[in-house]
Structure 1
Amino acid sequence: MSLPFDLGPGTAAALAIALLGAAYVRGYSGFGFSAIFIAFAALVTNPLPLIPVVFACEILMTAFQARGIRGHVDWRRVLYMLGGAAVALPFSVSVMLSVGADTARIIISTIILVMSLILLTGWTLQRRIGALGHGGVGMISGACNSAGIGGLPVAAFMSAQPMQAATFRATMIVYLTGLDMITLPLLWAGGLVTWDTAIGLVMAFPLLGLGVWLGGRQFLSASPSTFRRFAVMLLMTLSVLGLLRALKGH
């Protein structure tokens, strides 16, 4: 059986391990799956064809988690941010589809590094943010999501506000699902969604289920803030490695 995206066995195995780890992070913290997996993928292959697979995985993982998060979602935040994201996405997707593999690695890794540094600073908002503020964050998120990492600006924004861990996690999960559902048709129109996308999703399914289940169990027994810090440190490491590889390729 041939592997999708012309992957070799070694590359496919490395991506499978990264997928399991990223699903675990998503199951625990509610964000980080796309950024971790795509940052790692940028080290071993061209990440662009994998972005639709990642988005489909995000949607599928929400189905695994729906029962446990339903009562904790801040729907008003979700809707305001999705409205902003929908404005920015068509332009940002067209830009991402026009660049080469090394340029994509630089863009993806730089965005991840900047957003990770913001998350680490402990930055806090001093006043209440209304509909326009949430819509603006959604626009930034939409611009980043063409690279598959639209969750990081939202994670940075919501981490800076007083919010219960369960609400943070549930709101992130639902927002990312809606964001990916808006983005996938644009990627389809751009030719990135193929039969390889479907094959990759089928192959990823058991790893997603296992990772999300393990991460969810850990969320119930430990501090989410501690694990989010671990996830951000991992993102920073992968983004630096991705930048080094991309710059070396130029």
Structure 2
Amino acid sequence: MRGYSGFGTAVILAPVYSLLWGPRAGVPVMLLMELLVSLQLLPGALKDADRRVVLPLGGAAAVATPFGAWILLTADGDLLRRFIGGFVLVFGLLLMTGWRYHGSRPLPLNLAVGTMAGLLKGSTGMSGPPVILYLLAGLEDAKRHRANLIMFFSTIAIISVVPPFLGGLVDGAVWVRLAVLLPVMAASVPIGARLFHVVPEKLYRPFAMGVLMAAGGLALLG
């Protein structure tokens, strides 16, 4: 999903990893994977991204992320896991209905959406839902949408891993899980990127939405 569409890492992995290991153990693994995958995709997206929109979004998100991380460090783990699952379910339903924001993109709104995304990133590992609904509303083609999303996620990937390190959440178990899972992710991203050029969106979307709904349901009800 990440290689194909430019998003999907956090909204799938955050609820699943939170169910398996709890948010304080699962979110740091996902954030480190997100960082390394973002660096893998960013060079090919720079030339196609709309920096006028993406940089304010990313800057505001980067400032707000540490404040969201305070929630990750202090909230009840089971409650936070269920919130992550419910949030992903709502996001998946909104995507399935086709709803998008269809207004203009002035700077204050860019900053507001970025701030919301940063708070979510720090607390749940997921910055994507508000930004995806916001950016996919435009008239740009799929190539521009994908590049915008890749650039946004890359701008906040580094700052998002700092609070878990400072909070002592990145321990030996996190590094072991990362060592096992990251090679699978790294090998899958180029496959998804290649599929972007050959697989019609009408075949991709039902599969992607099904995965989102399943991941959210597991975390909410598991």
TM-score by length of 2: 0.89
Matched to 1:117, the amino acid is L
Q: Which moved more, 1:115-124 or 1:143-152?
A: 115-124
Q: Counterpart amino acid of 2:146?
A: R
Give the secondary structure class of the aligned counterpart of 2:138.
coil
- Extract unaligned runs of 5+ from structure 1: 1-24, 246-250
Query: Share of identical aligned residues, percent?
Result: 31
Q: Is the aligned partner of 1:188 residue 2:171? A: no
Q: Distance in 2 between matches of 1:185 and 1:231?
A: 30
Counterpart in the other structure of 2:23: 47
Q: Which residue of 1 aligns with 2:136?
A: 159
Aligned residue for 2:8?
Answer: 32
Q: 1:178 aligns with which of 155, 175, 198?
A: 155
Q: Does the 8 A contact of 1:52 with 1:193 survive in 2? A: yes
Which residue is equivalent to 1:222? Answer: 199
How far, CA to CA, are the matches of 1:225 and 1:181 in structure 2?
33
Mapped to 2, the partners of 1:100 and 1:126 lie a distance apart of: 36
SS of structure 2 residue aligned to 1:235 = helix
The 4+ residue runs of structure 1 with deviation greater than 4 A are: none
TM-aligned CA deviation for residue 172 of structure 1: 0.9
- Paired residue for 1:15? none
Match of 1:19 in 2: none
In structure 2, what is the Cα distance between the partners aligned to 1:176 and 1:228? 21
Q: Deviations over 1:132-163 (max 9, x none)?
A: 11111111111211201111211111122222
Aligned partners of 1:55 and 1:184 also within 8 Å: yes
Distance 1:228 1:148, change over 3 A: farther
1:93 and 1:186 in contact (8 A); partners too: yes
2:118 & 2:204 partners in 1: Cα distance?
Answer: 25
8 Å Cα contact 1:81/1:137 also seen in 2: yes
Tell me by how many angstroms 1:43 deviates. 3.2
Letter in 2 for 1:55: L
Provide, for residues 173-194 of structure 1, a one-character-per-residue CA deviation record: whole Å limited to 9, x for no partner: 1211222212111222222123
User: Of 199, 224, 228, which residue of structure 1 is paired with 2:176?
Assistant: 199
What pairs up with 1:56-205 in 2 under 5 angstroms?
56-145=32-121, 146-205=123-182
Question: Quick one: structure 1 residues 49 and 42, their matched pair in 2 at CA, closer, same or farther if it must change by over 3 Å?
Answer: closer
Number of the residue aligned with 1:3? none
Deviates more, 1:159-168 or 1:133-142: 159-168
> C-alpha displacement at 1:30, in angstroms?
0.7
Contact 2:20 2:26 in 1 (8 A): no
> What 5-or-longer segments of structure 2 have no aligned partner?
none
Distance 2:177 2:196 in 1: 27
Paired letter, 1:109: G
CA displacement at 1:118 relative to structure 2: 2.1
* 1:211-250 aligned within 5 A: 211-224=188-201, 226-245=203-222
**Structure 2 CA distance for partners of 1:67 and 1:139, relative to 1, 3 Å:** closer
Query: Per the alignment, in what secondary structure is the counterpart of residue 99 of structure 2?
Result: coil
Aligned length: 221
